Structures are given as C-alpha cells and as structure tokens.
Structure 1
Amino acid sequence: MDSLMHHKTAIIFIAMFACSSAIFAEQTDSYLNTEPDINDNPSQLQSIPVLQSLHNLKQLETHAPYVHDLKNRYKVRTLFVESQDLPMVDIQLTFNAGSARDLEVGKGLYGLSNMAAGLMDEGTERFTANQIASAFEQSGAQFRIQSYRDMFIVKLRVLSDPQKLEPALAMMMEVLSNATFKNSSINMSRSNSQIGQKQLQENPSRLMGIRFYREIYGQHPYAEPITGTNGSLKKITPEYLKQFRDKFIVAQNMNIAITGKLSTKEALKLSERIAGNLRQGEKAQDLPNPAIKKTLNIVHMPYSSTQAHVMFGQLGTTRNDPDRLALEIGNKIFGGGGFNSVLMQELRVKRGYVYGAYSAFSFSQSPGTFSFSYSTRQDQLIDSIRVAHKALTDFVQQPIDRKQLEEVKAGMLRAYPNNYSSNSSINSQLGLLGFYHHSADYLDQYPKLLEKITAEDVQNAIRRQLHPDQMTLIVVSKELNKIELNDILQGNLTPKENIPAGEPKSTLPPKAAPAPVPEADGPVLSQHDRHAST
C-alpha cells in the first residue's frame, strides 16, 4: 500500500514539474514560436486545458484614481488622491532643483544638487544625524531625498495617525529648512565619491554613458554627471550648499503630491503647512536649449576588453512635446519592446551579435535624448554597427507596421495600471504631473490619447525627431578605424537603386548561423529623470 502511495505521489510530482516547465518554456521562447506544441497530450497533463482556458479571461477594467487639484493659498500646486485602504500618507515635494541648476550657484559646481540631497539629513543646528534618523524611526516613517537632472525630490511615507504624522512632518521641515552641511559630512561624501570614481573607470558602459551626454549636450547644464566629478566636488563648500538650498528648495519652486488616508480638507491643510513653513523664494528660470549637431559624430574611447560597447544617440525632445506619446510607441517598436523589437530581431535573433540591444527616449524640461546601446565581441563590432544603423535608417524611412503598432499599444495599455497600483506609485505620478504642468485628469486621459494614435502619427513623429544622418556614435573598444566606419554609415544613408521585382530587397548579407551569444553588460542606464514613464 505504501509503495502504491509513493508511486502515485511520484506521478503527481512529475506531472506538476512538466506543467511548470512547459509554462516557463512558453514564457521564455514565445518570441520564437507562439503555436501550441502538437505533441502535448491533454490526457496525460490535465492541467494544460485549464491553463489554456486562462486566455479566454477578459482583461480587468481598471480606472485611474481621481486626482484633486487643490487650491493652495500659497499658490503652490498640490495634487491629492484620497485612499482609505491603508492608514498611510505619502508626501512628495518635487523641486525644480536638479543637477541642471548646479551652475546657477557657481561656476564648475557639478554635483552640488546631488550632494545637497545626500547631506540634508546629516544634521541641523538643533539635531544630529542620529537624532534625525531616530525621529523618523520612532514615527515608523520612511524619508528620502534624491536629486535627478531636472528634479530634486523629497519623499515622506508615514502612518496617517496624527501622533505619527506630526513628528515626522516636523522633522522633514526642519531638515529642509535648517540643514548645516558640515565640512565633516562634505569630506565623507567626497571620499565616497572618489571610491565611486575609481570603480567607474572599470565600467566601460558607464564611461560610455557619461561621454555620450558630454558629446550631446556640450556646454548645456545636462552635460555633466549628476554626481559631479572629482574636480567639481572639491569646490563645494557649506556656503555653496546653503546658497543652493535657499535659492531652489523654496515653496514657489516646488509642487506637492499627497496620497493616502486623508480627506480633501485635511490634505489641503497639510499642503499649506508645508508651503507655509518653507522659504517662499522664486520659481526657477527656464533652462536653455542645447545646440543641435547636424552631422554624424563618431567618438572612439580606447578600452582593453573582450567586449566592445556601442551607443548611438541624438538630442530628443521635451516632456510636453505633442509627439511624445507617438515617440514612446515608436521606441517600443524599434528597440524598447523586447525580442519583437527591430533592434533585437536584427542584432540578436538573426545574427547572434548581442545578448540585448535597447533603445530609449528621455523626456525632460529641455530636450532630452534618444539613444540605443549594446555590447558585442570585438570581431563583430563593425558589422554590428552597420546593421544597427541600417535598422534605424530603414525604420525612419519605411512605413510603420500597423499590426505591430496595435500589439504595442495593447501592451502599453495593459501595463499602464502599474503606474497607479499602489499609493507610492500614485504619488510618484502626481509629482510628475505637477512638475511638468499636466492636467489633473491626465492619468485618466492617457489611455484615450494612446488609443487615438495611428501608424501615420508614429511615422510622422519618428521622421520629425529621429535623424540617422545626425547621430552621435560612441564606441568603446580596443581599436577603431573611424574613416572606414564613417564610409559604412554614409553608405547606409545613400538611397539604393530600385531592385527588380523578384529580387531580395535587403542589401544585407545572407542570414548567418547565430554566433555564440557573447558576454555583455546590461543596457546603459544614463542618469536622467526616470519618472517620465507615462
């Protein structure tokens, strides 16, 4: 009897394992074959029909939360979402005080905003760093400050109980208004940064990202790393940090986002307390527009490594450009949509040159960037660059595939509710809406705007914004013949003669057997504002 039970248990386990393996295989290999395996035997794996029946479930309808645009008497824009599910309150203060403002305090002070964010909770005239940390801990609060290129963001998450909320709020205001920025803290920050700079020299993909921003932006405030450089950090003093705080961490240079278990009246009162207890100050000035490069620009960074690293890019556009949503869709099709994207098909699926190739737009106050990057073996470098640039050129010139467009839009709409799946994510979205001056109902309008976009809209936006003949190309490799590479890229840009009917349209060599997948770093993640996800 025992042996029979053991036998049955073994059969059940094997069936469960086979089922789970089939699910995993479908998830990982769906880009190769979406048809069901004809060898599956439902009589042996009864769970398969059950799993397949899940495809018949209708997508759950979700609605964006209602956003209140509160009329703050200090005229500080405040967006609020009431959420009674959890006894929590999320507060985000978003200041127009990112690293783009560093040079407005003094020449060469790159990294000033980032250092201010890192040192604000290191002590005030009344409280030490330990006392500040203890105050938040005793309130059960989470407190964080971070600087980006455009934004300086302060976040507080705390229980809605006034006995917890009040002390946490008071300490947040103390830190923002009275941080001392002691020399000892500055020296510690410099020391940590120097260690980071040494590690940076061993990371070619990050070096490439830094060089890319410098080439694209030149003398523009976006050009230098958010964290600054060893030279610039040596110039930063407590006086400069206080000047930065007094100029930019002020009520008239921020917007407030609140999500949680409060009434509208309570949220308004809270926002006025925050705005009223900060220096009023003035709104930051508009940033200048960067100079546009009109020619191909090839930059070689010698680096001894088994892998070569490649990054193409150019200036993009602003967050409020009418083309933005169409460009987001176009980017998904070209290089931001996984294995079905053009880049992955050309570089990995067809040729096995890379593990991954990724494209991205960054949208900001001043024009952001469009870029795509990958890593490959040194012996495949030149041809991979030719293929990648040709893929972009063809993508700009040829019509958008309507079926792929609809698939991408459907995927974006399915993923969109993740932007308001928690109080924290909702509040981040509110901060974004306030910073970029979107309407309070934007979260609700976004899917409708996305639905309306046509293939022609995407194609026109791509042709207006992307210019294969004006790309900056950064190559990190042992060696590079820039003259030869320039000729190859110019060849991609030259219109080909009409090919007789029946002849293959592609000018690329026949598909080769995929090479062994090379070791590669992940995609280059440039340091720009990452809250522009909608």
Structure 2
Amino acid sequence: MTRFLGALSALILSAMPVWAIVDIQEVKSPGGITAWLVQDDSIPFVALEIRFRGGAALDPEGKRGAGYYMTGLLAEGAGEFDARAYATRSEELAASFEFEIFDDALSVSARFLTENRDDAVEHLRIALQEPRFEEDAIERLRGQILSVVASDAKDPEAIAATAFDALAFPGHPYATAREGTAETVAVMTREDIVEAHRNTLARDRIYVGAAGDISPEELGALLDTLLGDLPQSGAPLPEDATYAMEGGVTVLPFETPQSVARFGHEGLSRDDPDFFAAFVLNQIVGGGGFNNRLMEEVRVKRGLTYGIGSFLMPMDNAALYLGQFSSDNSRIAEAIDVIKTQWADVAENGVTQEELDAAKVYLTGAYPLRFDGNGRIASIMVGMQMDDLGLDYIPTRNDKVRAVTLEDLKRVAGRLLRPDDLHFVVVGQPVGLDASN
C-alpha cells in the first residue's frame, strides 16, 4: 500500500503543469450564447465542444432511433456538398468534426487550425443548420444501423445492458437502445429524421466549451455565426424516469461458455449532497484499478472473473448504481453471492481508514491527467456546465474529495448500497442460478 500511495503522489506532481493552465473564462456572444473558454495561444489550434441537452431521449414514441439516425447523417452532405464532397472539404481544411448522440445529449466535437478557422466554422455550420438528408445517404446509413442492431442482438454485454434498462425504466426512452430496433429503423422516414433535427438542435439547450488559440471576442462572434440561426426552442425535455425494478435475478439464455452479468439498483443524482461521498465510496467498492473490494474478493481471492467494476450513473432523468462482470457458467452463481455479501458488509460496516486514504490518493492523483489536451479540456468544461458545477469546480474538486470522512462514507453506504434491491441480469447458461424473474 505504501508503494501504491507513493507512486500516485509522484503522479500528482508530474501532472501539475497541465493542471495549472486550466483558467476558465465565461464568454457570452453578442447574440446571447454562453460558452466557457480556456485560451491557449501556444499552438494555432482550437477545440470546440458543443452539446444539446435532450439527446436520444427526445425520440417520439414508436420512433426510437430517430435521433441516432439523424446524428449519423449530419456529415453525410450539407449545403452545396454531397457526402463525398463534404468529407473532401473537411480534409482540405484539416478540420475534424465528430457527431455523437447519447440518451441525454447530442455532442458535436470540432477541431481546426487557427488559419482555417472561418472556413472550418462555416463548414460545420452547414452540417448543423443545412444538412441534406438525401435519400441515398438515408438508405446507406439504414443498412449500417441495422447491422449494429443485429450485432448487438448477438453480444451478451449489449443484451444484458438493454435488458437491465428495459426492466428498470419501462415506458421511458431509457428502456431501449438509442440505436432503435430493427422494426423502428426499417420504417424510419426522411420526415422522421427532419423532425429529430428540429427537436434536438435548438438554442434553448446549448452548452459550449472551447480551448485553444481564440480570444473571448473571437469566440463570441464564432458562436453567433455557428449557432445563432438555429431554432430558439426544440421539443420538450423528457420527464423523469420511474425506476421499476425490484431485487432479484433475471436469466436470459444464451449459448456461451461464460455468462455476462449486469447488476445494480437506483443511485444518486449528480446534485445530491452526498454525491461526492458516494463517488469516493464507489472507488473503494468497485471503482478503477485493482484496489477495490469487488476485484479483491471476486477476482484476486477466488478467481471468479477476469475483471469486475461498479460505477455511478447519474442521468438527467434517473440515477443508477451499476456493475458488470463475466464468469464461467459454472461459477457465476458463486460470484453473485460474493457480490451480495460485499454489498451488505459495506452497507452495514462501512470501510477502513486505509481504504479511504488509498481512494483519495487515487482519485486526486488521476484527476489532473484528464486535462491532457484542448479537446479533453473543452469536453470537461461542457460536462461541468451541464452538471451545474460552477467555474471554480476544477481547482476545488480535489479538496472535495479530500474532505470526505469515514463518517460520511458510513452514512452514504447506508443510502447507496441496498443489498435487497440488487438485481442481476445474467446472459448465458448459468449453472445453479435460479431466476426470480
């Protein structure tokens, strides 16, 4: 343990120069768009991260996958450019644009050189505001999405995750995969895609982070050019999801030598006063690395799995506390018993001071390493805005971790770890495991 703490202390010191450059300015464009900026003139390069709250959860009933479909088409032709010409022009500008949708947000990641900034911004603008949604691109992407859906239907991890969500949030978009189903994708129309674009890309849900060679004044003008003509408002944001799952085991038969298990129950929202303590507690229970309870008890002592972990998953409309692992069909029942035992032990008895100290060193030492480039910095700032963390979060975050006490963890363990509510979704051919659902 001493060697572990010493190595991570050295890691903190080596990361300090990166940490020191994160000086955030809040910028408001003349048109009223707010962004956070870390100005860095050392390299003639800008990273821009934009997110639109709502994401795939805005899909209308019966149209699951519309947002995913639409997002995949944003770079498949825009303005005067067809798909091939759009990609060629992006390469000529040495600009990179990535579009991705999650349940709670649509993400736009842009990277471009200072010398090409105006042309790159215009090229991105037409993708966001003037997508062509041509029928040939729609049909080409339909085949790709159907291939993804078919592949997921044969992937035990994807099956377990989707089944857990379906049991947890029936009737809510969270209950189904954002790619949609074979049935919804097969009948998706251009009108559905245009509606998804109108519902999702709107000014009333924009969050922006920028890092690199750009001044506040230049960023303000850029934002109005890029985003100012979007619709003022989109579709209403989704309602909260009601968690409906009870403790137990669901077995989904699947021919494989190893079973995959997804497990968990309700978690804590990001704005819960106990979230930081829960974050530290999870590091001890099943967080990153090998120094946690689940890895020690399930893998190291018993050899029941190669890897296991747990994580907090606060979403806009619900919060989960989840874990996942795989194990031989003949031993997964034993692994589940060990997990239940650890869940109950920590809930009742808490953790040790040594475990708390190791978790603090790991979490505070790893945090500065996230700021390893302008792209990562821009992305982190957008996440901070969406979680309403404030401009001072980065310099104070590690202090919040260090302030967590054993008493805090004991209190939070009683809230967060609920052994009777643990539900395991197992995909495979488990031996000696009785399904309760």
Same fold (TM over 0.5): yes
Is 1:145 aligned to 2:99, yes or no? yes
| Corresponding residue number in structure 2 for 1:514 | none
User: Of the candidates 86, 94, 97, which is equivalent to residue 51 of structure 2?
Assistant: 94
Partner of 1:430 in structure 2?
A: 381
How far apart, CA to CA, are the structure 1 residues paired with 2:7 and 2:266?
Answer: 47
Q: Alignment RMSD, CA only?
A: 2.4
After TM superposition, the structure 1 stretch with the greater mean CA deviation from structure 2, 451-460 or 346-355, is: 451-460
Q: Which amino acid aligns with 1:414?
A: G
Q: Any idea what SS the aligned residue of 2:409 has?
A: helix
Offset, 1:482: 5.9
- Please give the alpha-carbon distance, in whole angstroms, between the structure 2 residues aligned to 1:283 and 1:130: 30
Cα 1:477/1:57, change in 2 over 3 Å: closer
CA separation in 2, counterparts of 1:53 and 1:331?
21
Residues 192-203 of structure 1: pairs in structure 2 closer than 5 A: 192-203=144-155
1:133 has 2:84 as partner: no
Kept in 2: contact 1:247–1:281 (CA 8 A):
no
Contact 1:159 1:165 in 2 (8 A): yes
1:109 maps to what in 2?
63
Instruction: Identify the structure with the greater strand proportion.
Output: 2
Paired position in structure 1 for 2:157:
205
Aligned to 2:29: 72
The equivalent of 1:217 in structure 2 is 169
Q: What is the aligned partner in structure 1 of residue 267 from structure 2?
A: 316
Partner SS for 1:146: strand
Aligned equivalents of 1:383, 1:252: Cα separation in 2: 50
Which of 191, 209, 214 is 2:143 aligned to?
Answer: 191
**Which residue is 2:291 aligned to?**
340
Aligned to 1:491: none
1:75 alignment partner, SS class: coil
**1:273 — aligned with what?**
225
Pair 134,181 (structure 1): closer, same or farther in 2 beyond 3 Å: same
The separation in 2 between residues aligned to 1:198 and 1:242, in whole angstroms, is 25
1:312 alignment partner, SS class: strand
Displacement of 1:298 in angstroms is 1.9
2:113 aligned partner:
159
1:235 to 2:187 alignment: yes
- State the SS of the aligned residue for 2:285: helix
1:168 paired to 2:116: no
TM-score (norm 1): 0.76
Q: Whole-Å Cα distance in 1 between the matches of residues 214 and 157 of structure 2?
A: 45
Contact 1:293–1:470 (CA<8 Å) still a contact in 2? no
The secondary structure found in structure 2 opposite 1:366 is coil
What CA deviation, in whole Å up to 9, does each residue of 1:210-252 have, x standing for no partner? 1111111111221111211111112321111111212321222
CA contact (8 A) 1:180 1:238 kept: no
Which residue of structure 2 aligns with residue 177 of structure 1?
A: 129
Task: Give the match for residue 425 of structure 2.
Answer: 474
Verify the 8 A CA contact 1:97 1:113 in the aligned structure 2.
no
Look up the equivalent residue of 2:86 and give its one-letter code. I
Tell me, yes or no, if the aligned pair for 1:299 and 1:474 is still in contact at 8 Å.
Answer: yes
Give the aligned residue type for 2:189.
T
Structure 1 residue runs of 4+, over 6 Å off? 52-58
| Aligned partners of 1:112 and 1:236 also within 8 Å | yes
Q: Give the Å deviation of 1:125.
A: 4.8
Residue 26 of structure 1: aligned partner: none
CA 1:70–1:125: 2 relative to 1, 3 Å: closer
Structure 2 runs not aligned, ≥5 long: none
Q: 1:264 to 1:58 in 2, by over 3 A?
A: closer
Distance in 1, Cα, partners of 2:290 & 2:230: 50
Task: State whether residues 135 and 168 of structure 1, in contact with CA within 8 Å, keep that contact through their aligned partners in structure 2.
Answer: no
Larger Cα-atom Rg: 1
| Displacement of 1:54 | 12
Query: Which secondary structure state, in structure 2, belongs to the residue aligned with residue 329 of structure 1?
Result: helix
For residues 186 and 389 of structure 1, do their structure 2 counterparts lie closer, same or farther at Cα, with a shift above 3 Å needed?
same
User: Structure 1 pair 53/232, CA: closer, same or farther in 2 (3 Å)?
Assistant: closer
Task: Indicate if the aligned counterparts of 2:331 and 2:431 stay in contact, CA closer than 8 A.
Answer: no
Residue 120 of structure 1, aligned match among 52, 57, 74:
74
Q: Distance in 1 between matches of 2:266 and 2:80?
A: 46
Question: Distance in 2 between the 1:53 and 1:132 partners?
Answer: 47
For 1:372, the aligned partner's letter is G
Q: Which has the higher contact order (CA 8 A, sep 6+)?
A: 2
Provide the identity percentage: 23
Q: Deviations over 1:441-491 (max 9, x none)?
A: 2212211222212122223223223321112211123256665x66xxxxx
Deviations 1:93-114 (A, max 9, x none): 11113111112xxx21111111
Q: Does 1:82 align with 2:50?
A: no
Give SS of 1:288's match: coil
Q: Secondary structure at the match of 2:306?
A: coil
Task: Give the paired residue count.
Answer: 432
